[in-house]
Every structure is written in structure tokens, then in C-alpha cells.
Amino acid sequence: MHPKKQVITLERALNLSRSESTALFDKHVNHPLAGLLKLADADMRFTRAEGIYVYDEEGRPYMDLTAGYGTLNLGHNPEEVIKAVRDAQNLPAVLLVGFNPLIGALGNALASILPGDLTVAIFGSGGAEAVENALKTARAATGRRTFLSCGGAYHGLSFGALSVCGSEKFRRAVGPLLEHCALIPFGDLDALQQNLQPKDVAAFIVEPIQGEGGAVVPPEGYLKAAAALCRKFGTVLIFDEIQTGFGRTGKMFAMEHDGVVPDVVTLSKSLGSGVMPVSVSITSEKIWKAAFGSRDRFDLTISTFAGNPAACAAALKTIEIMHREDIPGKAREMGDYARDKLQNLKTKHALIKEIRGQGLLLGIELETGGLFSGAMEQNLALMVITELLHKHHILTSYYEFNPKVIRFEPPLIVTTEQIDEAVDALDRVLARRKQAISLSFGKTAIGRMLHH
């Protein structure tokens, strides 16, 4: 091999400076994102991560309130999960004749923690892949073609997942997408019934609590009624629990709050604790058989890395820890604590419009109360986020489809002291008068950019 230039070694890559890392990311990965991060002075170089903290080059800790968007429910780099992956490392990493010995065990573990008859799994690596598998299952099982989904829904960025995405902006750039897809408002049962009535809908896909839409909990009874309507009209109900699953909302799965069991559920993110990428779409034996249970169809569920031993080991150990440590119970307790503190903050700060969500999938919606409009109103949350990062060493972001809503989504191992620290920091940032926030933001490069 004659490389054109010297190839960067791993050793060198691990020791790049902050500016070198940013330059390479800018050139080879994502130029506009690199630009934005640089402007906000947020192209940090974190060199270590553990529990709810990441550490910069000087060893300073930053509290992570994003938890990899729900991927790090057990915190960064949980040792037991890393060890589990090492323990499985002598097995054939990819085996295309036969199957790895852990895959059936993981299917069994998932079936035993899920409610109802969700027992047959199609594995994959990322969330969008699980969504694709769920949508394919519905079409193949029903012979119908239409997909229904909700405004504000986020299901990933592959073509099928984007076709049921609740944001026009995300769909526009890469269209045309799948035909026969329709959007209805989240929480609207009349719209659901109207769309199901023609009996041509293969699947209705919905997040039990919307994540990227901005931590939106549907009206009481919505999921139960939606399930009854889907049953009545022969439509497969898919719950996307990729972000809400594995304790995030205070139950192992968000569907348990309402006692509703879908026909298919998609899971990923915290299934592998962020140590390994792994995803799954699980359905009943009856639906799986109807979709793929014949010799000419069973291999429609194959993917090279699906259910590889390292991914299965990470998932099996994650499930074991979740149970043993009652992580969903902890999330419920800490979620109640955080919500009370945030509600209390709301009474002090007119900038907070609403606190919402469930468990530790919380959102803080900000508004300027008509004081500002346009970019300032839109970017208030971004200003607060930037200040939390630089002044208080707290990492957070806004929800992808709702830039006014700050993400309060820490790992589920967070303590009351850490919640106190985060809420106090937010209190201090918000306590600066709105004008002061706007002045300080206006002076930053990102502020200048947004106004020009």
C-alpha cells in the first residue's frame, strides 16, 4: 500500500491538541457544525468520561445533562459493561454461518423484561435500523402500505425513519421519501381514527413520550385509546422506546405507565449503555411469523453486525444491572426530585414557560414573554446552554425539534446533590436579568452570527 500521505496512527489521534482535532473534524466530518462549535467556544476536547462527568484536557469535570440523548442511563463507561464486552471478546466477532451463543439469551432477557407477548427480536446496531425493521415488519405482516406517525416525532434519519419523521425541515432535504406516509398531531385521537378508518394503514408509529419533540407527554389515556383503535382497524402499533426505554421515564419502559402493550417496540441507545451500538425491534411470535416466517422471507431480517457477541454482552449486562440496582426506581425518585426543584425555579423565573416530561426525560421550555422576538426568542435556550457550559461546566443542549426546550436528561445514576448543583447553576444563569443575558449573548461570536 502506498498511502498518499502519512496515515495518522491511533496513538497520535489520541494525543491531538484541541485545535488539531477541530481542524480534522472540520475538514473530514462536518464543516458547518465545526464552525458553530468554534463560534460558541464549544469545540471542547474531552479526554475522559466516567459516571455523569466528562473531563477536559486539564482534568476539569463537566456534568453531563444530555446522557448521549438517553444512551448513557448507567452513566459514561460503566465498568461492568466494559468488562462484559471483554469477556465475550474470544467468541467469533461476526459469524454468518450459525449464530452467536448470546443472541438467543438476549432475546430471552428482553422478552422477560417487556410486558405482553413481545418475544421475537430483530437485532441491529442503531435506532434508525430498529425503526426500519419495525416498519418492514408491519408491511410484511399486514400486506398494507400506509404508515402513520406524529408531528414532532423523531425516529432517526434513514429513509424509512425520515419518511415518518415529524419535521418537514428534516424530510425536505432528501425527498422524495417513502410514499403513503401521513402525519397526524401527537395526542389527537380523532385524527388517528379518521386515518385508520380506510383500513389501509400498516402501522402507526409513536413515541410514548416524545423526546426530540421537547419531552412531550401525551394526554392521559391517549396511548390506551390509540392501541384500541389500532386493534379495531387491524393496524400494527409500534412504540418507539429508543429514547424512553431502560428506565429513563421512571419505569423500565414508558409504555408501563399506561399499561399498554404495542404490537412492536423499538429499543436502542441505553440497551448497550453506550459501550456498544445495539438496537432491536421486538414483536409477537404471531406477527413475526406473518411477516417473515417462511423460507423465502426469514432472511429479510439479516444485518452483518446484528446481534454480534460484543453487542449482546453489553446488552445482557446492562439489563442485569438495571434490574439489580432498580435503575428505573432511581430514575423515578430522582425525576420527582428534579421536577420539584425545577417547578420551584419556575416560580422564580418568568423566563421559564413550562417544565415537562416524565422521570428523568425532562424539558425546560423558555420564553422571553414577548420581550424579544425572532432570533433572540428562538435562541434564548442556546444562550442559557452556552452560559451553563462556560460558566458552570454543565453540558446540556436543546431538544432537536424544539430549540426553546432545554434538555434535563442526566444519567439515571445522578444524585440529589448533583441535581441541586445543576438547578442552582440554572438558577444563577436565569437570575441575570433578561437584558443581561441578551447583552452578553450579543457580544459573543455566535450571537453576532445569528443576527447577521
Ligand X SMILES: Cc1ncc(COP(=O)(O)O)c(C=O)c1O
**Interacting residues with ligand X (CB under 6 A):** 69, 126-128, 131, 154-156, 207, 211-212, 240, 242-243, 268
Residue 210, beta-bridge partner list: 216
Widest pairwise Cα distance in the chain: 67
- C-alpha cell recorded at residue 279: 438496537
What is the nearest approach in angstroms of ligand X to the Cβ of residue 187?
16
Decide whether 69 or 288 has the Cβ nearer to ligand X. 69
Angle at 337 between CA 76 and CA 51, to 5 degrees: 10
Residue 394 CB, shortest distance to ligand X, in Å, is: 21
CB count, 10 Å around CB of 22?
Answer: 18
The packing angle between helices 416-431 and 374-392, to 10°, is 130
Minimal CB distance residue for ligand X:
127
Neighbours of 314 (CB within 10 A): 26
> How is 142-209 classified by DSSP, letter by letter?
H---EEEEETT----SSHHHHHT-S-HHHHHTT----SSEEEE-TT-HHHHHHHHTTS-EEEEEE-SS
Hey, is 319 helix, strand or coil? helix
Closest approach, Cβ 183 to ligand X, in A, equals 16
Q: Are 439 and 376 in contact (CB under 8 A)?
A: no
**Which DSSP category does 116 fall into?**
T
| 139-152 per-residue burial string, b: 16 or more CB within 10 A, e: under 16 | bbbbebebbbbbbb
Pick between residue 266 and residue 368 the one whose CB is nearest to ligand X: 266
Q: What CA–CA distance (Å, rounded) separates 12 from 264?
A: 45
Helix, strand, or coil (residue 97):
coil
- Name the burial class of residue 235, with classes exposed (0-12), middle (13-18) and buried (19+) by CB atoms within 10 angstroms of its CB: buried
CB of 384 to ligand X, least distance (A): 22
